[in-house]
Amino acid sequence: MGDFSEDPFQMDDDFSASLHIASSYSDPIDNFTAATDQAQIRSRLAVLDLEQFPEDADDAFDEGEHKKATEMAQASLVNQPNHPLTPPENFAPVVNNIYRSSFPQTTNFSFLERLKLKSILCLIPEDYPDTHHQFLKNQDIKLFQLGLSGNKEPFVVISHELITEALKIVLDPANQPILIHCNRGKHRTGCVVGILRRLQQWSLTIIFDEYRRFAAPKERPMDQQFIELYNQTEIVSFCQERNYLPLSWD
């Protein structure tokens, strides 16, 4: 860990403050907006010189690895027509029609079909592979993408605004059933679920316990701090206006 030249408890930063949220399935204008957003995130990240703080190997999306896994999966499907269901790693229901998981692989598609998802919230900035776009199209699933950078000490932190946007998407009944995922389903997804638990007024101790269960063995104190210190005023009033609260178990 390097020296802190900034306040280590400063959790917010502005590099995504003015982004718009675009679903990648709609007209070309929206795709254009999404692309601009992507470019903006990347340019802001470039300023931070991320090379100095390489992503955790677990958090980085490895296209080569993904391709290999896809090929292997397809090969195994040919040999095994009646294959057992494979949920994505770290899959679990969160509450009612909200689910969480790691980055779904093609092997997980038959499992995901059964959830009858209306939308997916993807928390990584990388583009979805073609196989996945095809799946979304076939299943008529709407994709929301919010490129969150994970909490990396000392400088790269999850943006509060993006988390608020994420929750607005997740809590909207029009988008449910919805699956939240990042790469491993540990850190970024864990933060979103943690904040959602705060909206359910869960005790912080239990929220942390749940966060650690899914993040093990790579729990990050920064993420837990984030969950605790996140200012929920905006999302709470958003929810109250729309009668989303209390989030009761149906």
Partner 1 sequence: MTEIANGPQVTKITRPPKLRIIPPLNFCPVEHQLYRSGQPNIINQSFLEDLNLKTIVWLATEEPQEEFLDFCSQHNVNLEFVGMINDYNYNYNSNINPWDTLNDVTITRSLEIIANKENYPLLVCCGMGRHRTGTVIGCLRRLQNWNLASVSEEYRRFTGAKGGRIQVELLIESFDISVIEVKEETAPEFLVEYRT
Q: Which amino acid is residue 220, in one-letter code? A: R
Residues 180, 193 contacting (CB under 8 angstroms): yes
Nearer to partner 1, 15 or 214 (CB): 214
- CA–CA separation, 159 vs 138, rounded Å? 33
Residues 180, 98 contacting (CB under 8 angstroms): yes
- CA–CA separation, 206 vs 224, rounded Å? 11
Q: How many CB atoms lie within 10 A of CB 185?
A: 24
**What is the smallest separation between the CB atom of 111 and partner 1, expressed in angstroms?**
8
Q: Which stretch binds partner 1 (CB under 8 A): 4-12, 22-30, 36-44, 91-99?
A: 91-99
Q: Does 26 bind partner 1 (CB under 8 A)?
A: no
Active site residue 182: yes
Alpha-carbon torsion (188, 141, 94, 216), positive or negative? negative
Q: Which stretch binds partner 1 (CB under 8 A): 1-9, 89-97, 147-155, 166-174?
A: 89-97
Q: Which of 11, 22, 94, 120 binds partner 1 (CB under 8 A)?
A: 94
**What is the smallest separation between the CB atom of 25 and partner 1, expressed in angstroms?**
26
Binding mask of the shown chain, residues 149 to 188, with x at each position contacting partner 1 by CB under 8 A: ----------------------------------------
Nearer to partner 1, 1 or 216 (CB): 216
Nearer to partner 1, 108 or 119 (CB): 108
Q: Does 201 bind partner 1 (CB under 8 A)?
A: yes
- CA–CA separation, 185 vs 246, rounded Å? 25
- CA–CA separation, 1 vs 8, rounded Å? 12
Q: Which residues are catalytic?
A: 182
